[in-house]
Amino acid sequence: MTKSGLKLGFVGLGIMGTPMVMNLIKGGHVLFVNTRSKVPQELVDAGATVCTSPAGVAERADIIFTMVPDTPDVEKVLFSDNGIAQGLKGSKGKVVVDMSSIDPIATKEYAKKINALGCDYVDAPVSGGEVGAKAASLTIMVGADEAVFERVKPLFELMGKNITLIGGNGAGQTCKVANQIIVALNIAAVSEALVFASKAGADPAKVRQALMGGFAASRILEVHGERMVKRTFNPGFRIALHQKDLNLALQGAKSLKMALPQTANAAQLMQACAALGHDQADHSALVKAIEALANHKVAPDA
């Protein structure tokens, strides 16, 4: 721990949150943590202090991060009887940084409530999954006042590589919804391509290898295409969570009076996966919906 280490809080220690906290600790900072299940022992061993509630985290830390699944979870962590807002009372100048992926409209309301307590609010959803969280290579999309962003940016740099201030509160979440649209449609495209190639008799692994050298190359083809071929669907990012994000996109499109036809189709494919019992699998398992429609698997299951 360095002498310059900040007092940081982190609520939500799941697949993403745990490695993010580890990277903050490695950066020399003091961590106060809370999660709804048991705090991973590796964080305790690394020096994190366990708090019994989000309020306890906020009382002890100057900058508090949250990383939980959905909009209602963020609201509960922030504003329940033992929530972060309770711990902020009488402590002006602290910063709350929500790194969850949630509703942009709700985010703006949460920011107003935190601002009313004399504290700052940052929405900073991420992309990159478990791999990016462990490697500290996350893409971080930020909605905040510029001065607050500059204050928190050195901490973001311990967790990610591509860090962009999009605009004010809510803009980071809007960017994340756009990201999830692109990711879902790319997963669907790679799924269709590999199922087509496999059913036509081509080796899907070699098809993927060939396509990686051409205009169809993408990070999705590289990482998730390999998952589809090797049948490794342990979650880096669960289908259930991607369903949530696509629902946010479709709800937003409705309020904006616009159509997102391909997003709606991807959402239905994920719903088909959920119906088949795969909602807790990695979102690359969307391929299973295409396989069901084709009555053919890209490759045999392990």
Q: What is residue 122's three-state secondary structure?
A: strand
CA distance 214 to 263: 25
Q: What is residue 283's three-state secondary structure?
A: helix
Query: Hey, what long-range contacts does 261-266 have (CB within 8 A, 24 or more apart)?
Result: 262/185, 262/188, 263/181, 263/184, 263/185, 265/188, 266/181, 266/184, 266/185, 266/187, 266/188
Q: Which residue is catalytic, options 76, 92, 153, 176?
A: 176
Closest to 159 measured CA to CA, from 127, 203, 182, 184? 127
Q: Angle, to 10 degrees, between the axis of helix 104-116 and the axis of helix 71-79?
A: 10
Closest to 272 measured CA to CA, from 263, 285, 262? 285
Tokens (6 digits) for 271: 């719903």
Active site residue 134: no
Catalytic residues: 176
